[in-house]
Chain A
Amino acid sequence: GIQVEQSPPDLILQEGANSTLRCNFSDSVNNLQWFHQNPWGQLINLFYIPSGTKQNGRLSATTVATERYSLLYISSSQTTDSGVYFCAVDHGSSNTGKLIFGQGTTLQVKP
């Protein structure tokens, strides 16, 4: 099956710093989403981005489907950005509705 690899596994930042999280996938995808899981376990959908670039406030994401990777950019990080960031994909020629999650990047933002 498709492999989803996220890097780095852990990241510690000082408040105000910028960061880039990466998601590599081993096969073509028709659905790619980024999620933030806060320390209380709630998964928040950040982006639906099977291709192209999107921005939402301090966050932006880019997916280059032909090269099988996606990037999540966090600018001017805040302590509330702490948590685990997951990339999830649905692969194949048609949507199956089955998202495969990566192992996540754990981000800690220090004040």
Chain B
Amino acid sequence: DAGVTQSPTHLIKTRGQQVTLRCSPKSGHDTVSWYQQALGQGPQFIFQYYEEEERQRGNFPDRFSGHQFPNYSSELNVNALLLGDSALYLCASSFRGTGFSPNEKLFFGSGTQLSVL
């Protein structure tokens, strides 16, 4: 049973470029959340996708956008990259089901390390 998978594992971009990160949730999960973790800090919530819609959003600018596909996989897009966007980007999956069930255990992928030069 595959866990949460993310690609690529590492990425180097220059300021002003755009980047797309990808995530496949754990089998049986339908909800994907994205987090940004700067060096030495705890992860910060970017947004969450469920039923192909953005359901919750953290304090991140519109340069950060996402998408969820019918197979529950997700993409995180960042436009107009800044040096401060350098961080580990983590994808987490969970199961919500058909109702608003408690957001129980999150399972994280290994992350994408993004470096902006």
Contacts and interface: CB of A to CB of B under 8 A. Distances in A.
B31 to A, nearest CB: 7
Contact of A95 (B43, B44, B100): B100
Interface string A58-95: 00000000000000000000000000001010100011
Contact of B43 (A31, A42, A101): A101
Nearest to A102: B42
Q: How many B residues touch the partner, as a band?
A: 20 to 34
Contacts of A101: 42-44
B45 A100 contact: yes
Interface in B71-106: 88, 90, 92, 94, 96, 100, 102-106
Nearest to B33: A97
Contacts of B44: 101
Contact of B103 (A31, A40, A102, A103): A31
Interface of A: 30-31, 33, 35, 40-45, 48, 86, 88, 90, 94-104
8 contacts: A31-B103, A31-B104, A35-B108, A86-B42, A95-B102, A96-B103, A99-B43, A99-B45
A102 B43 CA distance: 8
B58 interface: yes
B112 to A, nearest CB: 10
A98 B48 contact: yes
A48 B105 contact: yes
Contacts of B105: 33, 45, 48
B45 A98 contact: yes
A88 B108 CA distance: 13
B42 A104 contact: yes
Given A97-B56, A98-B56, A101-B42, A31 B102 contact: yes
Contact of A45 (B31, B102, B103, B107): B107
Contacts of A95: 100, 102-103
A9 B53 CA distance: 37
B111 interface: yes
Contact of B106 (A30, A33, A41, A100): A33
